[in-house]
Structure 1
Amino acid sequence: MQHFPVFLSVAGRRIVLSGGGEAALAKLRLLLKTEANITVFAADPHADLLELAAQKRLRLVQRHFDYGDAMCARLVYAANEDALEDARVIAIAHDEGALVNVVDDLHNSDFITPAIVDRDPVTVAIGTEGAAPVLARAIKADLEQRLPSNLGLLARMGKAFRAAADILPMGRKRREFWADYYFKSGPRAFETAGKQGVQNALETTLDRHLFTDGRKGHVDLVGAGPGDPELLTLKARKALDAADVVIYDRLVSPEILELARREAIMVNAGKEGFGKSMSQDRINDLIVQHAKDGHHVVRLKSGDPTVFGRLDEEIDAITAAGIEYRIVPGITAASAAVAQIGQSLTKRDRNSSVRLVTGHDMKGFADHDWRALAQTGEVAAIYMGKKAARFVQGRLLMHGADPLTAVTIIENASRADTRVIATTLQDLEPTMTDAGLNGPALTLYGLSPRDAVQAASTLPAKEAAQ
């Protein structure tokens, strides 16, 4: 270890920076987050530096750095973008006993400024001894995603509450209280009621841990998106990280299930149209029972839970049991599919509205206002339409739809084994049957792929890669 990591107290202390260009401004973006008194020496300062000085955010001296300027400085930064001038700053600073950092010059720097994840007062510093700055940036990006943006507020309020929490016995009970607050009750309260909600959560969470075993169940109704794990929202990823129990649908991809925490109980609640499936009542019972047992339950649904996801039935069961819940939306299959073919669901002078319809429901093939769809020129995204393809085709043609209306079938939208099949309404069947689709398929009525996209994506994934 060439550089020893420390957190230096700079509140009310002096930090000096020499330089007036882009490099100086880049360094100041970080330094201005501190409570230090910052002085900048620049003979020809950037306009943004003049503005920062006018705002009293720093002291600007419009001349070159010289002897006496580093006196009592905790740190000195040389950001002149000129090797000779930086060398002069180093010599003066060392003569006056200050530590110097030279921007983009590890060899001549006494200290380095690491990549920082700022959730004040929670700060994470990442350094690689200058060996791999790109790796430090990647780690920083990953931590930025994992640590909630409100963590700083939660930490400040938690710190003020520590004396009250000391009523809990030292050890497991106190640890469980703080884990509950920081990772469950606190973030949820902030989402729904802001700062006041967090204060209330601290008090109610303390009461719960003081007078009970502290466990309180919660349900997250989470959209897993169309299958590509990179399309999973950050909030969904965090829910999977925290879940005690994951109750998932058949169409959720294995790659997304792999993101659940290793200790989580995984429950397959697969439902398949016209085939074997777990009843909705049974799924409701599982959700409620696990939550009553004090678990954090993630009900993981393919796509977006608010689109053909039987969401209301599950919410009714959860609320009837007096359990708290949260809905975490996901990217629905229609959005992923239309993006894959290079189109949009709405377009000026083509269609100002779009219909999301399902090919079948609990009673069988679903009936909709096919006449309106056939005659208005709207675009429709048809979910669960494989077995209903001939029914949909017949209804639209019967109500006067143009047989040559473009239709695109997308199997496994967003996944590695995706397929795109361009056809027309008159050929929807037998095209659908002849394609031998095995994965989930979405039918886009009124849209065809852009040529460049179609040429690449109609091939099976393995062939397209060759």
Structure 2
Amino acid sequence: MSAVRLYPIFADLAGRSVLVVGGGNVAERKVAALLETGAIVCVGAPVFAQRLVAWAENGRISLISGEFAEEWLDHQWLVIAATSDAAVNAAVAAAAERQRIWANVVDDATLSSFQVPAVIDRAPLVVAVSTSGAAPVLARLVREQIERMLDPSLGALAALADRWRGRIRGRLTDLGQRRRFLERLFQGRVAEFVRRGQIAVAESTLTRELDDAAVTPAQGSVVLVGAGPGDAGLLTLKGLRALNEADVILHDRLVSRDVLALARRDADLIEVGKEAGTHHTTQEGIHALLLEHARAGKRVVRLKGGDSFVFGRGGEELEFLHAHGIAFEVVPGVTAALACAAYAGIPLTHRDHAQSVRLVTAHCKASLDTLDWPALATGRQTLAVYMGVAGLERICAGLIAHGRAGTTPAALIENGSRSEQRVVLGDLANLPQRARAHAVKSPALLIVGEVAALGAQLHWFAAAPLGDAPEPTALPRVA
């Protein structure tokens, strides 16, 4: 069974009653954390640790002595069962369920209706880490890593932003302009002064920067981002940063949901995908959307599968933006030929078999008619053919007709780099039939050349290849 997915929530317990069942060291730790929130804590158990008794004597908590009874839950907002007795913990959980009170049973995710996460405290900034109760030690290790990443001054910076929130909202009424100002605030000179402990200097700097921002109109821009072929791990750090800064994201149909999930949650996502035979948005329509949102002062990301400059029409979009005076930037992506071949265990070049690579697109009949077939049929090279499924038979027949042997190894990589990746191996003569037999669909990349046969032994990702591949042609080793 998959672990239950939890809805992340931060509870305001200040002034609210919370029950802790148990009187030992574990209960003591839970009580200490609850007191930090301002909760009204009641602890019930037959025997209490010395520190719990001291807190009760000081009026910080109240104690109920005895065995657990359901009436202890009356008027409580939530309960934590922290005893060493499994039966008592189960009774607490069952009683809480009957009374619709949130319950956490320490180290028992199945009995808990909420989990207590590992916490990184930079109050008022708080980061919580949870594994849904599946691996608390892993959550602790992740917390330790995040602790090292987050500067202690972030709490003071968050408090500064809170004090200035009203004034910033009043001066910068446009949401996008305000967001960009805050991003600069948290990463620029103000943050640096806070790190130095110079809060007064930070405040005066914030005043000047806010005045400047209020009289400076928002400037729109466009970033062309290559999303790679699907695996979100192949998105570059710069691409991730662009997604997190974008107000509007115009994305292709083939951009994976995993990549889109990395975008800022309140960004406007607009699909502008084009599919062979079904053009949802024309290229001119995409140009118009880029211009509209950039002129409105938005930060626009044009998110393309693979790389924007490899059969992605990114050059045309930049020419349009340049002609209309829109600022732009390009973040390269891992193009499908590189990623799909790598995930299929097929090296595009090899000392024994291929000394060059050709990238070819075959998305329509017209593009096939313009190909230099004699050059493509030359040996000792690898062909990576984009969008080659629909024209697969013509491509294979054309290469054979112009001199490439029908026994030349070939591979189709469907959904390369994604969990559903499939690789079909064969040769120029039989690959079309194998593709039909396995119902291969777009997106799929075709690789032609002796290196394709290596996928049979070098595959490492997803399912094993389909079809028996011929042995690589024996060629003399290049000195």
TM-score normalized with structure 1 length: 0.57
1:323 and 2:326 equivalent? Answer: yes
Residue matched to 2:457? 451
What amino acid is aligned across from residue 209 of structure 1 in structure 2?
Answer: A
CA contact (8 A) 1:219 1:296 kept: yes
Q: CA deviation at 1:457?
A: 2.3
Letter paired with 2:382: V
Unaligned segments of structure 2, at least 5 residues: 1-28, 34-117, 189-205, 468-479
Residues 126 and 136, structure 1, Cα contact 8 Å, conserved in 2: no
Match of 1:373 in 2: 376
Counterpart contact for 1:357–1:380, Cα < 8 Å:
yes
> How do 1:199-348 and structure 2 match up within 5 A?
209-212=213-216, 214-348=217-351
The yes-or-no answer on 1:135 pairing with 2:133 is no
Unaligned runs of 5+ in 1: 4-113, 118-122, 189-201, 461-466
Query: Which residue number corresponds to residue 417 of structure 1?
Result: 420
Instruction: Summarize the Cα distance change of 1:408–1:184 in structure 2 as closer, same or farther, 3 Å threshold.
Output: farther
Aligned residues between the structures: 317
When residues 144 and 263 of structure 1 are mapped into structure 2, their CA distance, relative to the original with a 3 A threshold, is farther
Question: For 1:330 and 1:453, how far apart are their aligned partners in 2?
Answer: 23
Q: CA–CA distance in 2 between the matches of 1:236 and 1:433?
A: 36
Q: What secondary structure does 2:328 align onto?
A: strand
- Matches for 1:385-464 after TM superposition, within 5 Å: 385-446=388-449, 447-448=452-453, 449-451=455-457, 453=459, 456-458=463-465
Cα distance change on mapping 1:261 and 1:115 into 2, 3 Å: closer
> Per-residue displacement from partner, 1:207-260 (whole Å, max 9, x unpaired)?
872424x42212121111111222222222222222211111111112222332
Displacement of 1:434 in angstroms is 3.3
Query: Is contact 1:115–1:140 with CA below 8 Å preserved after alignment?
Result: no
Q: Relative to 1, partners in 2 of residues 1:286 and 1:174: Cα closer, same or farther, differing over 3 Å?
A: closer
Instruction: Report the alpha carbon displacement of residue 384 of structure 1 after superposing the two structures with TM.
Output: 0.6
Query: What is the rounded CA distance, in whole Å, between the counterparts of 1:334 and 1:323 in structure 2?
Result: 31
In 1, Cα distance between equivalents of 2:302 and 2:260: 12
Deviation at 1:124, TM superposition (A): 10
Paired AA for residue 234 in structure 1: L
Aligned-CA RMSD value: 4.2
Matched to 1:308, the amino acid is F
Letter in 2 for 1:425: L
Deviation sequence 1:54-88 (CA, Å, 0-9, x none):
xxxxxxxxxxxxxxxxxxxxxxxxxxxxxxxxxxx
Secondary structure of 1:457's aligned partner:
coil
Looking at structure 1, the residues matched to 362 and 245 of structure 2 have their Cα atoms a distance apart, in angstroms, of 35
Partners in 2 of 1:349 and 1:401 — Cα distance?
Answer: 18
Amino acid paired to 1:250? R
> Which residue of 1 is the match for residue 171 of structure 2?
173
- 1:329-371 residue CA offsets vs partner (Å, 9 max, x unmatched): 2221112221222232112232222111111359443532221
After superposition, residues 142-161 of structure 1 pair within 5 angstroms as none
Superposed CA deviations along residues 7-56 of structure 1, whole A, max 9, x for unmatched, are xxxxxxxxxxxxxxxxxxxxxxxxxxxxxxxxxxxxxxxxxxxxxxxxxx
Amino acid at match of 2:180: D
Q: Which SS does the other structure have where 1:426 is aligned?
A: coil
Partner of 2:21: none
Residue identity matched to 2:171: K
- Alpha-carbon separation, structure 1, partners of 2:185 and 2:329: 12
> What is the SS of the residue equivalent to 1:267?
strand
CA contact (8 A) 1:126 1:140 kept: no
Contact 1:358 1:366 in 2 (8 A): no
* One-letter amino acid of the counterpart of residue 215, structure 2: F
Say if 1:277 and 1:404 are closer, same or farther in 2 by CA, change over 3 A: same
The one-letter amino acid paired with 1:407 is: A
Please report how far the alpha carbon of residue 413 of structure 1 lies from its aligned counterpart in structure 2 after TM superposition.
0.5
- Give the alignment of 1:108-127 within 5 angstroms: none
Return the offset for 1:180: 2.4
Q: In structure 2, do the counterparts of structure 1 residues 142 and 323 end up closer, same or farther at CA, with 3 Å as the change threshold?
A: farther
**Structure 1 Cα separation of the partners of residues 186 and 329 of structure 2:** 14
Residues 264-302 of structure 1, C-alpha deviation per residue, up to 9 Å, x if partnerless?
A: 222111101233331101111111111111111111111
C-alpha displacement of 1:178: 7.8
Deviations 1:399-453 (A, max 9, x none): 1101100001010001121111001011232333333223400001111213262
Q: Taking structure 2 as the reference length, what is the TM-score of the superposition?
A: 0.56
Q: CA deviation at 1:305?
A: 1.2
Distance, in Å, in 2 between the alignment partners of 1:173 and 1:363 is: 56
1:359 aligns with one of 356, 359, 362:
362
Aligned partner letter, 1:180: R
Instruction: Judge conservation of contact 1:115–1:137 (CA < 8 Å) in 2.
Output: no
Equivalent residue runs for 1:66-85 within 5 Å: none
Say if 2:371 is the partner of 1:384: no
Give the distance between the partners of 1:297 and 1:442, measured in 2 at CA.
Answer: 29
Counterpart AA for 1:241 = N
The secondary structure found in structure 2 opposite 1:346 is coil
Closer/same/farther in 2, CA of residues 278 and 329 from structure 1, 3 Å limit = same
Query: Do the aligned residues in 2 keep the contact of 1:219 with 1:291 (CA within 8 Å)?
Result: yes
